[in-house]
Amino acid sequence: MNKSDLIDGMAEDAGITKAAAKKALESFLGNVEGSLKKGNRVSLVGFGSWSVSKRAAREGRNPQTGKTINIAAKNVVKFKAGADLSNSVN
């Protein structure tokens, strides 16, 4: 499923226009992104939660040359599925 499929499904399930569904989805995604940028956790009970984790700087290897390279530290987004979501796919 891609973004346009999700918008179509939301519009059909909620009985709203595709434009309204697109606006709602974009608002949801924007709010999740904004919260994560601030370092906050986003949790939807039963579905899952998103959080930001810091990945430390480390050394790696260039697979072509075998030379050691430095990989910079960065923030990564993590998602942990909730119990209801996990149970629904099993």
pLDDT one-digit tens code per residue, 58-83: 999 999 999 999 999 999 999 999 99
User: Band of the pLDDT at 90, cuts 50, 70, 90?
Assistant: confident
The closest of 46, 42, 44 to 87, measured between CA atoms, is 46
Report pLDDT for 62: 93
pTM score: 0.79
13-60 pLDDT, tens digit each: 999 999 999 999 999 999 999 999 999 999 999 999 999 999 999 999
Report pLDDT for 32: 96
Total length of the chain: 90
Q: Chain-centre distance of CA 13, in angstroms?
A: 23
Quick check: 79 and 49 in contact, CB under 8 A? yes
With tokens 């998602």, the residue in question is 79
